[in-house]
């Protein structure tokens, strides 16, 4: 396939890795900045405007306990959500990522995380799926202090919704125009569903 005329040799960007790269996400606000995650348990930030040898501008070496499977970049804030084989969901801020510590960590899924996606309009809401056959919706703005007597033990207060009934859920996606409408894919098809709490 021929390259576009304005695609110069200088703008080509190839890098080799020792471990599989599992996911990539462009920054919605920073030109040329992207994030990658890998089975080496790392999350890396890349500036594609730099020469390939200088392009990796930061590495979180042990972002998860093992493989980091998926990442998603928030369209409104400089936040990244990641999901790994450890079943954890972690929120990373560009303001503090250099310290290697997430700003939030959620453990509810009992299997590896297979997909994550920030809500296109709601700044603090994201959706995730796991090999435990669950799709979950989270609101990171919910504080632990808001816990009341109705709280279920082992369920983080930020967990807003759980969708079940499918096998091997692989991907989750929000509808761009209908805020509460979501869909996910699985080995037995796909589900389209709406939540009342978004």
What digits encode the pLDDT tens for the residues 11-60?
555 566 678 999 999 999 988 999 999 999 999 999 999 998 899 999 99
Q: Which domains does the chain have, with CATH numbers?
A: 20-166 (2.130.10.10)
pLDDT of residue 148: 54
pTM over 0.75: yes
Mean pLDDT score, 112-132? 96
Q: What is the pLDDT of residues 128-182, one digit of tens each?
A: 999 999 999 999 998 765 555 455 677 899 999 999 989 999 999 999 999 889 9
**What are the phi and psi torsion angles at 86 (to 5°)?**
-75, 0
- For the cut 50, the answer to whether the pLDDT of residue 189 exceeds it is yes
- For the cut 50, the answer to whether the pLDDT of residue 195 exceeds it is yes
pLDDT of residue 66: 94
């Amino acid at each position: 396939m021929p390259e576009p005329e304005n695609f110069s040799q200088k703008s080509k960007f190839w890098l080799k890795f020792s471990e599989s790269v599992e996911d990539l996400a462009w920054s919605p606000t920073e030109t040329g900045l992207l994030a990658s995650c890998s089975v080496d348990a790392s999350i890396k930030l890349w500036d594609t405007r730099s020469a390939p040898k200088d392009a990796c501008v930061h590495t979180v070496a042990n972002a998860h306990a093992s493989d980091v499977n998926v990442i998603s970049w928030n369209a409104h804030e400089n936040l990244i959500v990641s999901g790994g084989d450890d079943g954890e969901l972690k929120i990373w801020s560009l303001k503090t990522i250099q310290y290697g510590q997430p700003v939030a960590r959620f453990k509810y899924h009992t299997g590896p995380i297979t997909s994550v996606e920030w809500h296109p309009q709601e700044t603090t809401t994201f959706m995730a799926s796991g090999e435990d056959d669950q799709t979950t919706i989270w609101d990171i703005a919910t504080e632990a202090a808001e816990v009341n007597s109705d709280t279920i033990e082992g369920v983080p207060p930020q967990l807003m919704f759980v969708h079940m009934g499918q096998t091997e859920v692989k991907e989750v996606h929000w509808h761009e125009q209908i805020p509460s409408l979501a869909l996910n894919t699985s080995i037995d098809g796909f589900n389209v569903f709406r939540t009342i709490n978004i």
